[in-house]
């Protein structure tokens, strides 16, 4: 294992035992490596070329562990659909933190590695298709330039996982800057002493926000910095039409990375109320509600930091309230900047918000594709679709063209910015499902590999791409549902 390049630290294990349970992955019967992310191995400075397939399968199933591993499952809490629960890694084991040659630190976690003390009634296992899905979508998000956890490998276990029926089992090797969540701080605040909470705060600041550790009240700067990261992340999601689907506080990374790809999906036809999760009955986590929920989650996070914002609890409450109330103005300004980039508006005029909102209202009224509308505006190759020849669209288009000509910069600059903000391709839900079915049930990886390769270059406007990868599901009555996979 040493020749693979593993350089493990286990700093999280040095926190009080309160935060985790020491537990090894449960061994599996006959592991087989399904996917290995060679692009990511390079970033991590790992090299598995010198070990055979059987050893790789044992490694990425948890049957054997790299040197210096200290496997643990993390404890945390969380508001799930608004209801507070004590949770924890019910089917995941963190084996340590790998440090690459650039001194960057990455958690290495096995997802689907067996029961833990936090499994509740779960079996601790994962099915192959949802793990392949997380691999595919997390890599797509990475190449869309959105902060995200990533997937290093998927290994089938040779065992069955029972959900609504029997599925082949699998283990995902997930990579993250850390797995510290808002829910981790909620757990500490609910069950721990101030001393324990302070240890978690100091550890997190040293790991992710080192520039603020010498502040008089580092908790205050932490809250402000974390809020900006979460705003940027949510706006990035909305930039590409991504709907997370399960924005519980235990799925909110304090370092602003997208984590947990269970019921997520990408919006085709623009509708701000779009929601795909089969269990989100009230559309709490719909596309447009992602802003509201980000603020709500941040308020829950602020509650856990009250003892560290000021010596006076009264001042701490006022400070926290001021920060959370500043969210809306900050979010709105950043969202407007993002939308102006999507439309190539490079300076400011009074009517910019109207141009943005008029387009979104037109898109919603006519149920047009979100990604393709911005592609139509950005690309020299206009889409052949009668909707873009309608009088209402042409009127808007004329106003928009007149606006970007007033940028005081060459028109080419506007389109360059647009190309960097408007992807040509996204993971189309129906195409994702087709490729997952072929690989997980028919053992045919051709479609999955082709889609993965295509999604690794989403802003390439010069490449000829098959229509099936760029078109939404043409059946607008089709109800697409997503599931957690547990």
Active-site hit among 89, 250, 260, 369:
250
Alpha helices in 285-410 (DSSP H): 289-305, 313-325, 327-342, 352-366, 370-378, 391-404
For residue 378, count CB atoms less than 10 angstroms from its CB and return exposed for 0-12, middle for 13-18, buried for 19 or more.
buried
Would you tell me how many other CB atoms lie within 10 Å of the CB of residue 95? 24
Residue 313: CB atoms within 10 A of its CB come to 11
User: How many residues make up the chain in this entry?
Assistant: 486
CA distance 326 to 332: 10
Q: Is the dihedral of CA 117, 118, 122, 126 positive or negative?
A: negative
* Complete DSSP assignment for 406-437: TSSS-HHHHHHHHHHHS-S----HHHHHHHHH
Q: Which two tokens stand for residue 216?
A: 């008089």
Q: Which two tokens stand for residue 361?
A: 């209202």
What is the 3-class SS of 237-290, one letter each residue?
A: HHHCCEECCCCCHHHCECCCCECCCCCCEECCECCCCCCCECCCCCCCCCCCHH
Residues whose CB falls within 8 Å of the CB of residue 170, separated by 6 or more in sequence, listed in order:
34, 112, 126, 127, 128, 131, 132, 154, 155, 156, 157
Token duo for residue 144: 């869309």
Cα–Cα distance, 171 to 25 (Å, whole number) = 10
76, 186 in Cβ contact below 8 A? yes
Distance from C-alpha of 93 to C-alpha of 73, rounded to nearest angstrom: 5
Q: Decide if 9 is catalytic.
A: no
- Residues 47-62 as b/e (b if ≥16 CB within 10 A, e otherwise) read ebeeeeeebbbbbbbb
Point out the residues that are catalytic: 250
């Amino acid at each position: 294992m040493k020749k693979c390049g593993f350089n493990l630290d286990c700093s999280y294990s040095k926190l009080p035992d309160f935060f985790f349970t020491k537990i090894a992955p449960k061994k599996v019967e006959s592991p087989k490596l399904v996917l290995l992310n060679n692009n990511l191995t390079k970033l991590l400075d790992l090299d598995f070329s010198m070990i055979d397939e059987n050893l790789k399968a044992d490694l990425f199933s948890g049957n054997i562990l790299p040197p210096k591993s200290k496997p643990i499952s993390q404890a945390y809490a969380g508001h799930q659909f608004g209801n507070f629960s004590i949770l924890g890694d019910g089917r995941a084991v963190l084996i340590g933190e790998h440090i690459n040659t650039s001194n960057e630190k990455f958690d290495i976690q096995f997802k689907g590695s067996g029961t833990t003390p936090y499994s509740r009634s779960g079996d601790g296992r994962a099915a192959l298709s949802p793990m392949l899905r997380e691999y595919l979508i997390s890599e797509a998000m990475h190449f869309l330039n959105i902060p995200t956890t990533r997937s290093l490998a998927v290994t089938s276990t040779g065992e069955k996982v029972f959900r609504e029926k029997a599925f082949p089992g699998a283990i995902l090797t997930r990579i993250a800057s850390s797995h510290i969540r808002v829910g981790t701080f909620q757990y500490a605040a609910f069950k721990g002493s101030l001393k324990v909470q302070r240890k978690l705060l100091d550890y997190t600041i040293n790991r992710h926000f080192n520039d603020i550790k010498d502040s008089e009240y580092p908790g205050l700067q932490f809250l402000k910095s974390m809020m900006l990261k979460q705003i940027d992340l949510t706006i990035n999601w909305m930039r590409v039409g991504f709907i997370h689907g399960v924005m519980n506080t235990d799925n909110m990374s304090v370092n602003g990375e997208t984590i947990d790809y269970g019921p997520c999906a990408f919006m085709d036809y623009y509708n701000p109320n779009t929601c795909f999760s089969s269990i989100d009955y009230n559309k709490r986590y719909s596309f447009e509600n992602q802003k509201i929920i980000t603020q709500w989650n941040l308020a829950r996070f602020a509650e856990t930091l009250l003892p560290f914002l000021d010596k006076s609890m009264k001042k701490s409450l006022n400070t926290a309230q001021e920060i959370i109330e500043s969210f809306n103005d900050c979010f709105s300004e950043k969202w407007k900047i993002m939308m102006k980039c999507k439309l190539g508006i490079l300076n400011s005029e009074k009517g910019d918000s109207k141009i943005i909102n008029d387009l979104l209202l037109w898109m919603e009224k006519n149920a047009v594709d979100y990604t393709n509308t911005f592609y139509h505006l950005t690309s020299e190759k206009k889409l052949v679709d009668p909707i873009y020849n309608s009088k209402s669209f042409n009127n808007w288009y004329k106003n928009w063209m007149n606006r970007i000509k007033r940028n005081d910069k060459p028109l080419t600059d506007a389109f360059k910015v647009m190309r960097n903000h408007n992807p040509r391709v996204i993971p189309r839900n129906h195409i994702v499902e087709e490729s997952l079915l072929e690989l997980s049930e028919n053992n045919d990886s051709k479609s999955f590999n082709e889609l993965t390769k295509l999604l690794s270059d989403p802003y390439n406007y010069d490449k000829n791409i098959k229509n099936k990868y760029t078109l939404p599901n043409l059946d607008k009555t089709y109800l697409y549902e997503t599931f957690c996979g547990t």
